[in-house]
Amino acid sequence: MKDFRIWGLKKSPWVFHVAAASCNNCDIEILAALTPRFDVERFGIVLVGSPRHADALLVTGVINRKTLPRVIQVYQQTPKPCLVIGVGTCSCSKHMFEDSYNVVGPYDKHIPVDVYIPGCPPKPEAIILGVVKALQKL
């Protein structure tokens, strides 16, 4: 029964896009990954509009004091089990905003992150690979 559940989760990860103050480059690359050219629906990946439907959160951007409560709220609104995938170099580190007073640090200080996808911005292929690696963790 457990295998069956994991099979379902692996075969149909619905992603929700959380834009936590990114520069929009990663957001555009995520949209590019969802276009017919890459056709992620082959693997059951669908972009959903509500965090309640999501299995994976694609979080972009460097988290600052303003967006941190929102990101945590969206994470709490997502039904578990859910994956968190950090997209872009901003998600891995503070990137070039290291000395900024407003940046509250990397994601894993605040929410559990499963996979980081580096790149500024990462290519659509890299994003798909990241999601696949996150699914392999299950």
Partner 1 sequence: MKVIFWILVFPGFLFSSIIGMLLTWVDRKVTARIHWRVGPPWFQPFADFFKLLSKETLIPVNASRFLFLMAPILSIIAITAVGTMLFTMNFYPNMSFLGDLIVLIYLLTLPPLATILGASASKNPLAAVGASREMTLYFGYELPFITAIIITIIKTGGTIRIGDIVTYQHIHGPILYSVSGIIATLVALICMQAKLGYVPFDIAEAEQELMAGVYTEYSGFALALFKLSKAMMLFLLPCFLITIFWGGFVTWWAILKLLLLVVLIILIKNTNPRLRVDQALKFFWVGLMPLAVLGVILAFFKL
Q: How far is the CB of 101 from partner 1 (least distance, A)?
A: 33
Task: Give 32's contacts (C-beta < 8 A, 6+ positions apart).
Answer: 38, 124
Q: How far is the CB of 47 from partner 1 (least distance, A)?
A: 9
What does DSSP assign to residue 114? -
State the burial class of residue 121 (Cβ atoms within 10 Å of its Cβ: 0-12, 13-18, 19+).
buried
- Cβ-based nearer residue to partner 1, 37 or 101: 37
- Cβ-based nearer residue to partner 1, 7 or 97: 7
**Binding residues for partner 1 (CB under 8 A):** 4-5, 7-9, 11-12, 36, 39, 41-42, 44, 48-50, 52-53, 55, 77, 79-81
C-alpha separations of 133 from 10, 69, 77, 115 in Å: 11, 27, 24, 7
- Cβ-based nearer residue to partner 1, 40 or 92: 40
- Cβ-based nearer residue to partner 1, 76 or 102: 76
Structure tokens at 13: 């990860």
Q: How far is the CB of 8 from partner 1 (least distance, A)?
A: 4
Please answer whether residues 55 and 117 qualify as being in contact, where contact means their C-beta atoms are separated by less than 8 angstroms.
no
Q: How far is the CB of 44 from partner 1 (least distance, A)?
A: 6
